[in-house]
Structure 1
Amino acid sequence: MKNLYVRATGRGPTPGSSTRDRSRSLRASIALAVLAASAATVTASVATPASALAPTPTSAAPTLAAAEPGKVHVSENFDSGGIPAGWRVVDGTWKVQNGRLVGTSPASGNNFKITFGSYLEHFRVDATVRFDSVLSSTRWTSVGMDVPANGSTPWWIATMRSGTTAANGLEFGERTTSNTWNVTNTGAAPTAAGTGRDVQVTIEVHGSQARWIYNGREALRTSSLRRSGTGGQAFFVNGATVSFDNVRVTELAPNTFIRTPGSPLTVIAHRGASSAAPENTLIAQDVARRGGANWIETDVQPSKDGVPFILHDSTVDRTTNGTGAIRTLTSTQLKALDAGSWFAPYYAGVRLPTLAEQLADLRTRGGNMFLEIKSGHSKAEVSQIVSVIRQQSMTNRVLVQSFDVDALRYARELAPELPLGLIRSTLDADPVAIATELGLTAYNPSNAALLTRPAVVADLHRAGVAMMVWTVDAAGSWQQLEQLGVDGIVTNRPAELAGWNAAFLQR
């Protein structure tokens, strides 16, 4: 462990530091080494002026056609002999030959593309894909998930190399406006694509989330898509000749949160990556996001002047250098507190984020939020939380949960579009009945509570309600909960659970 510490930080532990301090310093330094590219985020959270605390309304989302789940928007087998109407060759050589669409890129630097379809929030792309020839096993083809019709950046793709069993054989990534790569997720396919073999490719997209399904098996996930509201679908080729057939784009219903058979557990990072960074901060959120978390679990409470802040405890004593109840401190006072030094010296100066800041970070950099409204909120305070979520255009990426039934009733009345979760430390006599009464999307008990009556998982699923269990950090318990049919797990160790999921997918 000491060697890892030295590699991460360039120096050994501070002489005289305690074992606990060294352990925290190790976790912190490893996280910081991974997050070098995130320094700007941490810096931005250190000193936010009071004038920036109020949420800034985002630009209005584009008006989209009414959703039609099940509608097939594109269905093409290329039997007509030519490029189909509505398909646009952006660059490279694209032709229809022998009943297949064929794209050729003679060099590895050419990201040649053809665009089709239209913007959809929830959809699935199915295609039969074959590498006919490649310059090397690292060359690739991609399904564009959000690509402007003219192919301009930024765009998001789901990539497959011909050497698909490599550690980065499959990828989710973005081509940025500065023409650089932002690869958010990588993984290996269960078998090699090679050349001359048909591969059944399916990409499922639900807002900012996507699944990579290879020959019928889920192989990779992401929660980091940033959607444009206008981009459609596309195919890309790079350093290869690739042919496509039986292309189908189908609109999907919004994600129900219930895990489909063969899919891994949903990873919900408890207060961010709270075992590796100071909880409920932007840096903890970013560690969790980069570690593979699907959702960030966080807690919200109001300041004295009514600004929703991210904090678990009712006081600031444990996780900052200040004292006092959060409801007795103004937003200016809260923003002056150091929320990082308690965890490790490397996080000195990290600040408490407002709800608006945390949502803006997720909206612009990827991710979704499980937002716990702490007990004791009035209807007006819940209304303020709802207002911030709407102003940040995040209603489709936030699940509101609480132990407090009244808070959930307020949220349902004020924002019926928000999914709701009820947190429980002991099971209700009839979880299905209360889920129906409150209009729940998820019922979220503690691990100990669930194990007293594991049959409630199936009962809730029959009622269309998901189950997310808290707070579980051991692999043996993850396996037990997966076998019970649980949909997601709240954990302090999201990177480890994401890794466990990767092994589950390989099995």
Structure 2
Amino acid sequence: MMRVPFVMRKMAFRRLASLAIIGAFGIGAAFAGSPEIIAHRGGTADAPENTLVAIQTALDNGADAVWVTVQESKDGVIVLYRPSDLKSLTDMSGPVSAYTASELAGTDAGWAFSHDKGQNHPFRGKGIGIPRLDAVLQAFPKTKFYIDIKSPDANPEQLGKALLATLEASQSLDRTRVYSTDTKYLQALPSAVRRFEARDDTRTLLANVTMAHQCDLTADNSAPRWHGLELAREVEVVEKYTLGEGISKAELTWDKEAMDCFRSKGAAHIILFGINSLDDYHKAVALGADGVMVNSPKEAKSFSGKP
């Protein structure tokens, strides 16, 4: 049996298959006791992700906030796109950074979307391009956005400055919060940009609670903290020893003990990613999650009870 209490701080994690995805927002739910519905990349199951049409569709279906993924174009403009290659979702190929924002706007971002595993493509050829972040913020001036940085080859400092300029110009600093699985992008953000806690820090703290029942939280309780992570994830735990390392599988799961730990030192907003079933939604509600990230806001209406 693995002796977890005294090795937790030295653990490394290797991601395996995701077991459940959940998201949480923390600026007051639309209904008392219910988490906010956050449209994952605008609602990946309902419309071409990270596009204007997806965002509008999500809001029409009652989403409370929108999660978008951004990268930096060749000419330094922040645009909405997730994969590392344009061929994954569009009629073009290559990295986003190889094209200007104007060129990206001319691509067909609805090219790959399908409701029936590729049999039909209802958004293909509809003039749906990759949008600029500033255009999105201007088009939806009252919408709350989570901005996920996924730019694989961008300079963190340069991207941070460009993002700040975009948020300031659109007067969006107070309605946005930035996330990234790559800590270097969070660390490079100017102080005026609101952000999540580093994913690795959130995961390590959850591991301590889940596996060792140890709440190793050091936080400034004067500043609210934002955490985003899956409801449950299977990982490999790598324990470091003097003569080598040991690797074992584990499941990190949010429960009441974890929630109590994260909120034991000041305000903590918990974002649980990928709540796409009634069962997972009920779990998130029972845990007191501040919001849930969903792939289909249209389907989420059926289990959230929101209009």
TM-score (norm 1): 0.44
> Which of 123, 138, 143 is 1:367 aligned to?
143
Query: Which amino acid in the other structure matches residue 279 of structure 1?
Result: E
Contact 2:67–2:146, Cα closer than 8 Å, also in 1: yes
Partner residue of 1:326?
96
Query: CA 1:321 to 1:478, structure 2 compared with 1: closer, same or farther past 3 Å?
Result: same
Partner residue of 1:352?
130
Query: Which amino acid in the other structure matches residue 345 of structure 1?
Result: P
Query: CA 1:305 to 1:407, structure 2 compared with 1: closer, same or farther past 3 Å?
Result: same
Query: CA 1:307 to 1:443, structure 2 compared with 1: closer, same or farther past 3 Å?
Result: same
Residue 300 (1) aligns with residue 70 (2): yes
1:260-409 paired onto structure 2 within 5 Å = 262-343=32-113, 344-348=121-125, 349-363=127-141, 366-374=142-150, 376=152, 377=154, 378-409=156-187
Give CA-to-partner distance per residue, 1:294-313, whole Å, 9 cap, x none. Answer: 11001110011111110011
Instruction: State the number of aligned residues.
Output: 245
Query: CA 1:289 to 1:258, structure 2 compared with 1: closer, same or farther past 3 Å?
Result: closer
Contact 1:458–1:485, Cα closer than 8 Å, also in 2: no
Contact 1:421–1:440, Cα closer than 8 Å, also in 2: no
Contact 1:395–1:417, Cα closer than 8 Å, also in 2: yes
Contact 1:265–1:488, Cα closer than 8 Å, also in 2: yes
Contact 2:173–2:193, Cα closer than 8 Å, also in 1: yes
Give CA-to-partner distance per residue, 1:251-307, whole Å, 9 cap, x none. Answer: xxxx95366994211111001122111000000000001111111001110011111
Structure number with greater CO (CA < 8 Å, separation at least 6) is: 2
SS in 2 for 1:267: strand
Query: Which amino acid in the other structure matches residue 288 of structure 2?
Result: G
Residue 416 (1) aligns with residue 201 (2): no
Q: CA RMSD in A?
A: 2.9
Query: CA 1:435 to 1:320, structure 2 compared with 1: closer, same or farther past 3 Å?
Result: farther
Partner residue of 1:59?
none
> Which of 458, 461, 475 is 2:260 aligned to?
458
TM-score (norm 2): 0.71
Contact 2:65–2:145, Cα closer than 8 Å, also in 1: yes
Give CA-to-partner distance per residue, 1:45-77, whole Å, 9 cap, x none. Answer: xxxxxxxxxxxxxxxxxxxxxxxxxxxxxxxxx
Give CA-to-partner distance per residue, 1:111-155, whole Å, 9 cap, x none. Answer: xxxxxxxxxxxxxxxxxxxxxxxxxxxxxxxxxxxxxxxxxxxxx
The runs of 5 or more residues in structure 2 that have no matched partner are: 1-24, 114-120, 209-214, 234-250
Task: Measure the CA separation in 1 of the matches of 2:162 and 2:150.
Answer: 14
Partner residue of 2:283?
480
Contact 1:399–1:421, Cα closer than 8 Å, also in 2: no
Shift of residue 498 of structure 1? Answer: 3.5
Shift of residue 476 of structure 1? Answer: 0.8
Give CA-to-partner distance per residue, 1:217-275, whole Å, 9 cap, x none. Answer: xxxxxxxxxxxxxxxxxxxxxxxxxxxxxxxxxxxxxx953669942111110011221
Shift of residue 502 of structure 1? Answer: 2.0
Query: CA 1:337 to 1:456, structure 2 compared with 1: closer, same or farther past 3 Å?
Result: same
Partner residue of 1:427?
203
Contact 2:51–2:129, Cα closer than 8 Å, also in 1: yes
Give CA-to-partner distance per residue, 1:4-55, whole Å, 9 cap, x none. Answer: xxxxxxxxxxxxxxxxxxxxxxxxxxxxxxxxxxxxxxxxxxxxxxxxxxxx
Query: Which amino acid in the other structure matches residue 292 of structure 2?
Result: I
Task: Measure the CA separation in 2 of the matches of 1:387 and 1:432.
Answer: 36
Identity of aligned residues (%): 23
Query: Which amino acid in the other structure matches residue 483 of structure 1?
Result: A
Contact 2:183–2:199, Cα closer than 8 Å, also in 1: no
1:38-437 paired onto structure 2 within 5 Å = 257=27, 262-343=32-113, 344-348=121-125, 349-363=127-141, 366-374=142-150, 376=152, 377=154, 378-411=156-189, 414-416=190-192, 418-423=194-199, 427-429=203-205, 433=217
Shift of residue 332 of structure 1? Answer: 2.8
Contact 1:426–1:446, Cα closer than 8 Å, also in 2: no
SS in 1 for 2:71: strand
Shift of residue 440 of structure 1? Answer: 6.1
SS in 2 for 1:345: coil
Task: Measure the CA separation in 1 of the matches of 2:197 and 2:302.
Answer: 26
Task: Measure the CA separation in 1 of the matches of 2:28 and 2:264.
Answer: 10
Query: Which amino acid in the other structure matches residue 158 of structure 2?
Result: A
Contact 2:231–2:253, Cα closer than 8 Å, also in 1: no
Query: CA 1:434 to 1:293, structure 2 compared with 1: closer, same or farther past 3 Å?
Result: farther
Computing the radius of gyration from Cα coordinates, the structure with the larger value is: 1
Task: Measure the CA separation in 2 of the matches of 1:453 and 1:401.
Answer: 20
Query: CA 1:379 to 1:417, structure 2 compared with 1: closer, same or farther past 3 Å?
Result: closer
